[in-house]
Amino acid sequence: MSYTIQGATGPWEVVVGLEVHAQVISRSKLFSGAATAFGAEPNSQVSFIDAGFPGMLPVINRECVAQAVRTGLGLKAQINLWSRFDRKNYFYADLPQGYQISQYAHPIVGRGSVEIELSDGSRKTIGIARLHLEQDAGKSLHDQHPTKSFIDLNRSGVALMEIVSEPDMRSPEEAGAYLAKLRQILRYLGTCDGNMDEGSMRADVNVSVRRPGEGFRTRCEVKNVNSVKFVMQAVEAEARRQIEVWESGGEVEQETRLFDVARGITRSMRSKEDAHDYRYFPDPDLPPLVLDPAWVEELKASLPELPDERRARYIAMGLSAYDAHVLTLERETAAYFEEVAQGRDPKLAANWVTGELFAALNRMKRDITDPPVSARHLGELLDLIADETISGKIAKDVFEIMLETGEAPRAIVESRGLKQVKDSSAIEAAAAQVLAAHADKVAEYRAGKEKLFGFFVGQVMKAMQGKGNPALVNEVLRKLLG
Ligand code: ADP
Ligand code: MG
């Protein structure tokens, strides 16, 4: 069932394409040696190049190029061995050079694809049109002084990847799933931290609407949307606005808009008539970027396992599609799970991580990177279950004590005497007492009320503080009652 929005005159389809700016993880900037750390003192990470001093020569940062290539490979995309940097000319206070260096006509990465998963379990492939490298601009600060604006150039010259999708998405959900998946892939690759609240990743959302079966209509671009949720809201708000324009006999004009988060609507920022003429031309300070195919092969060989492949591997290990999905959402979660599962039953490990551990993280508002129980300790707990030192039920109690005290599971079991009792004479003694105390129920059982068996098991377990070996308790009771 494809997604449509019902207008006054019938259903409308939504068409979405995203242009995502992703800040490259690298110690220094795209063309200078200045640092890139977030949150530094304003203007403390600015070289003469980033400040646009005349006569400075940019030199390309090899690591930024490697990151773009890795990202291209992760997006199953064409790597262009020859690419070029152009100058995009415009004036703005946060752009001291008077132009941005960007790959315009010849990007480093060409066509690729991203597979998304939707809530109904279906999968869809979204085309990538291109990825190019460019410089970020500085930042204007308007809230520091009543009459003055300040400029912070720390971000000036930081490497960005602009990742442009094909107009392949057809609903707010697909647009959100695409952005989330792209972010996941970049984080797995280690090429962008994906921190959208810090501005490391932001999306320009292109939206148009059409009658089902029609060709594309004019689109509008909603600039700088900074969360998955806001992308979904912006798509829906902008689509509804356009439907109203078309249905009232008007025509959607191509323009750049902004999403007003508080009011949930988009507002016009500039129309196509105000569109800049950027006077692009090849940057004369930079030679074309030519890549050695052997170097690209090396980068490919050293690529980490990506989320789709990891998910498939977990399913092949016997995990459910759901467990495989949630365990691979974050690379750190997958790493934790793998340490727990190493040499153990993967399904048992998955149950404990997605069950007890996730619940504890939620409850304690902790992150998997700072877990209240280490993967090593959780693994040891599973060993105690596997070798029948404790039952699964007691293991949950031990886990709670681990959360509180940070102690190792074996030490907890020893010091608190939680070891499972496998001695049948001890179990027989406990069972005999229980049966003697419930002679009436024993009589009922023997008269045919067989479901009382569970009651006896429960009573014996209770008498033994949950430490009786369940199989033995069953066996003993069957013998005594039989
Ligand atoms: P331009 O060169 O003008 O920036 P592009 O063809 O590069 O235009 O497209 C920019 C973005 O707009 C891409 O993400 C693309 O998927 C998206 N896009 C293009 N046409 C449409 C449309 N009719 N509706 C929605 N999105 C579109
Ligand atoms: Mg564009």
Ligand 1, atom 7, residue with closest C-alpha: 164
Residue 350 and residue 239 in one domain: no
CB 34 within 8 A of CB 47: yes
* Same domain assignment for residues 201 and 99: yes
Q: CB of 167 closer than 6 A to ligand 1?
A: yes
Residue whose CB lies within 8 A of the most ligand 1 atoms, among 202, 206, 211, for a mutation test = 206
Q: Are residues 272 and 391 in the same domain?
A: no
* Length of the chain (residues): 482
The verdict on 217 and 324 lying in the same domain is no
Q: Report the pLDDT value the prediction gives residue 275, as an integer from 0 to 100.
A: 67
- The two structure tokens encoding residue 61: 């940062």
Query: Which atom of ligand 1 lies at the shortest distance from residue 216's CA?
Result: 23
* 14 within ligand 1 shell (Cβ under 6 A): no
Ligand 1 atom index nearest CA of 206: 26
Domain that holds residue 396: 314-410
How would you write the pLDDT of the chain (482 residues) with one tens digit per residue? 689 999 999 999 999 999 999 999 999 999 999 999 988 999 999 999 999 999 999 999 999 999 999 999 999 999 999 999 999 999 999 999 999 999 999 999 999 999 999 998 899 999 999 999 999 999 999 999 999 999 999 999 999 999 999 999 999 999 999 999 999 999 999 999 999 999 999 999 999 999 999 999 999 999 999 999 999 999 999 999 999 999 999 999 999 999 999 999 999 998 776 667 899 999 999 999 999 999 999 999 999 999 999 999 999 999 999 999 999 999 999 999 999 999 999 999 999 999 999 999 999 999 999 999 999 999 999 999 999 899 888 999 999 999 999 999 999 999 998 888 888 888 888 889 999 999 999 999 998 898 989 999 999 888 888 888 888 889 899 998 88
Q: Is residue 303 part of a domain?
A: no
What token pair was written down for 269? 């920022």
Q: Tell whether ligand 1 has an atom less than 6 A from the beta carbon of residue 19.
A: yes
Answer whether residue 308 is part of any domain. Answer: no
* 165 within ligand 1 shell (Cβ under 6 A): yes
- Residue at 418 is within a domain: no
Index of the ligand 1 atom closest to the CA of residue 218: 23
Å from CA of 164 to ligand 2 middle: 8
Q: Which atom of ligand 1 is nearest to the CA of 217?
A: 23
CB 162 less than 6 A from any atom of ligand 1:
no
Identify the pLDDT of residue 121: 86
- The answer as to whether 306 is a domain residue is no
Among residues 388, 410, 432, the one where a domain terminates is: 410
Residues 318 and 290 in one domain: no
The pLDDT score that the predictor gives to residue 472 is 87
The residue contributing the CA closest to ligand 1 atom 6 is 166
Both 112 and 172 in one domain: the answer is yes
- Please report the pLDDT score of residue 395 as a whole number: 95
Instruction: State whether 67 and 175 are in the same domain.
Output: yes
For ligand 1, say whether the CB of 208 is within 6 Å of any of its atoms: yes
| Distance of CA 216 from the midpoint of ligand 1 (Å) | 10
> How far is residue 348's CA from residue 366's CA, in Å, rounded to a whole number?
22
Beta bridge partners, 123, equal 117
Do residues 191 and 227 touch, judged by C-beta distance below 8 A?
no
Q: How far is the CA of 127 from the centre of ligand 1 (A)?
A: 12
Question: Best substitution site from 102, 114, 130, 164 to test ligand 1's pocket, by max atoms within 8 Å of Cβ?
Answer: 164
Q: Closest Cα to atom 17, ligand 1: which residue?
A: 17
307 in a structural domain: no
Ligand 1 in reach of 18 Cβ (< 6 A)? yes
* Ligand 1 contact via 242 beta carbon (within 6 Å): no
* Nearest atom within ligand 1 for CA of residue 18: 14
Check whether residue 368 and residue 219 sit in a common domain: no
Domains identified in the chain, total number: 3
Ligand nearest to the CA of 14: 1
Q: Which atom of ligand 1 is nearest to the CA of 164?
A: 14
3-class SS letters over the chain = CCCCEEECCEEEEEEEEEEEEEECCCCECCCCCCECCCCCCCCCCCCCCCCCCCCCCCCCCHHHHHHHHHHHHHCCCCECCEECCEEEECCCCCCCCCEEEECCCCCCECCEEEEEECCCCCEEEEEEEEEEEEECCCEEECCCCCCCCEEECCCCCCEEEEEEECCCECCHHHHHHHHHHHHHHHHHHCCCCCCHHHCCEEEEEEEEEECCCCCCCCCEEEEEECCHHHHHHHHHHHHHHHHHHHHCCCCCCCEEEEEECCCCEEEEEEEHHHCCCCCCEECCCCCCEECCHHHHHHHHHCCCCCHHHHHHHHHHCCCCHHHHHHHHCCHHHHHHHHHHHCCCCHHHHHHHHHHHHHHHHHHHCCCCCCCCCCHHHHHHHHHHHHCCCCCHHHHHHHHHHHHHHCCCHHHHHHHCCCCCECCHHHHHHHHHHHHHHCHHHHHHHHCCCHHHHHHHHHHHHHHCCCCECHHHHHHHHHHHHC
Cα 222 to ligand 2 centroid, rounded to whole Å: 12
Distance CA 167, CA 13 (A): 13
In a domain, 159, yes or no: yes
The domain boundary residue, chosen from 353, 385, 410:
410
- Which atom of ligand 1 lies nearest, measured to the CA of 208? 24
What is the 162 CA–ligand 2 centroid distance (Å)? 9
pLDDT of res. 422: 82
Q: Answer yes or no: pTM beyond 0.85.
A: yes
Query: Kind of pairing, strands 201-210 and 220-225?
Result: antiparallel
128 in contact with ligand 1, CB cutoff 6 A: no
Report long-range pairs for 42-50 (Cβ below 8 Å, ≥24 apart): 42/141, 42/150, 42/152, 42/154, 43/151, 43/152, 43/153, 43/154, 44/154, 45/154, 46/153, 46/154, 46/156, 47/157, 49/157, 50/96, 50/138, 50/153, 50/156, 50/157
Q: Ligand 2 centroid to 81 CA: how many Å?
A: 22
Say which residues have a Cβ less than 8 Å from residue 256's Cβ, sequence separation at least 6: 220, 221, 223, 268, 269, 270, 271
Q: What is the whole-number distance in angstroms between the Cα of residue 467 and the centre of ligand 2? A: 66
Phi, psi of 23 (to 5 degrees): -75, 130
Kindly list the distances between the CA atom of residue 417 and the CA atoms of 389, 394, 403, 466, in Å, as whole numbers in the listed order.
Answer: 11, 11, 18, 11
Ligand 1 centroid – CA 206 distance (Å): 6
**363 and 447 part of one domain:** no
Domain annotation covers residue 415: no
Is the minimum distance from the CB of 219 to ligand 1 under 6 angstroms? Answer: yes
Regarding whether 185 and 64 lie in a shared domain, the answer is yes
Clarify whether residues 34 and 150 are in a common domain: yes
- State whether 439 and 406 are in the same domain: no
Measured from the Cα of 167, ligand 1's closest atom is: 16
Atom of ligand 1 nearest to the CA of 17: 16
pLDDT of residue 426: 87
- Name the residue of 18, 208, 219 to mutate for ligand 1: max ligand atoms within 8 A of Cβ: 219
Instruction: Determine if ligand 1 sits within 6 Å of the CB of residue 164.
Output: yes
